[in-house]
Amino acid sequence: MTDRAGDSVPSMPQHVAVIMDGNGRWARARGLERIEGHWAGYKTLKRIVYAADDLGIRYLTVYGFSSENWRRPQNEVSGLMRLMYAAMRAELEDLIENGIRVRVIGRLHQLPDELSDIFYEAMRSTEAYTRMTFTLAINYGGRAEIVDAVRAIARDIADGRISADDVDEASVAARLYAPEMPDPDLLIRTAGEMRLSNYLLWQSAYSEIWVTPTYWPDFTPELLLQAVQDYGKRTRRFGAVVE
């Protein structure tokens, strides 16, 4: 396989998911407020979206705000809501110009109206694009997503559309927030923590995990390439025996 520059890239991951962690620690190390770390993280994200597209990654999904992040101090939460709104306002035009499809997954109805409105606008105005799909997980929780899928199944059973015996993995997968998206091949977490923090629990069943101690604001396209190259050396078994 080759990237857009024609260089050889061994077995490219089709879908890369990222837990962008360490903004707070990055800020603290510099004597800054946590929110300043989040703004620095936004700048990094901007570079990484285009770097992923240049590499030929088809799906990039990033964790922007978890359903548990409401537990943070109120000023950090409201600062993050303002940042997400300003960032989407500022970036939408460039994303459109570059033909990048934007999706947002999570319980968007619980976000401030202004924020969910701009997310819907971004999704609407880029839905025809096929270059790269850039998905933001906002007010997202893997358990909440599965609960929402189970509720949808329960409604379908109650209304007689399907029977309980017909429920299988495909029935659950079909009711996730972005059902047509392939599962992540590679899951990157920055800032060193070795946990999923409720991210894409269903979809990451067989994802290859790559962790770097680098805080998210210091993450670079070079590190993304390193993760992708390391992924190329992994052997995926999916439970089977591979010689």
Helix (H) or strand (E) holding 137: strand 132-140
Least gap, CB of 210 to ligand IPE (angstroms): 15
Residue 197 interacts with ligand IPE (CB under 6 A)? yes
Contact 55, 225 (CB under 8 A): yes
Residue 53 interacts with Mg ion (CB under 5 A)? no
Q: How many residues does the chain have?
A: 243
Taking Cα atoms as reference points, which of 186, 177, 176 lies closest to residue 58?
A: 186
Among 12, 51, 57, 65, binds ligand IPE (CB under 6 A): 65
Taking Cα atoms as reference points, which of 21, 40, 27 lies closest to residue 195?
A: 21
- C-beta of 13 vs 64, nearer to ligand IPE: 64
Residue for token digits 């209304």? Answer: 159
Residue 214 interacts with ligand IPE (CB under 6 A)? no
Least gap, CB of 229 to ligand IPE (angstroms): 24
How many Å apart are CA 189 and CA 129, to the nearest integer?
27
- C-beta of 175 vs 189, nearer to ligand IPE: 189
Least gap, CB of 43 to Mg ion (angstroms): 18
Residue 19 interacts with ligand IPE (CB under 6 A)? yes
Task: List the structure tokens of 24.
Answer: 């707070």
Residue 184 interacts with ligand IPE (CB under 6 A)? no
Least gap, CB of 32 to Mg ion (angstroms): 16
Task: Give the per-residue contact string, 135-174, with ligand IPE (x = CB under 6 A; - = no).
Answer: ----------------------------------------
- Is 69 catalytic? The answer is yes
Contact 26, 217 (CB under 8 A): yes
Task: Give the per-residue contact string, 3-32, with Mg ion (x = CB under 5 A; - = no).
Answer: ------------------x-----------
Site residues (CB under 6 A) for ligand IPE? Answer: 19-25, 63-66, 69, 80, 191, 193, 195, 197
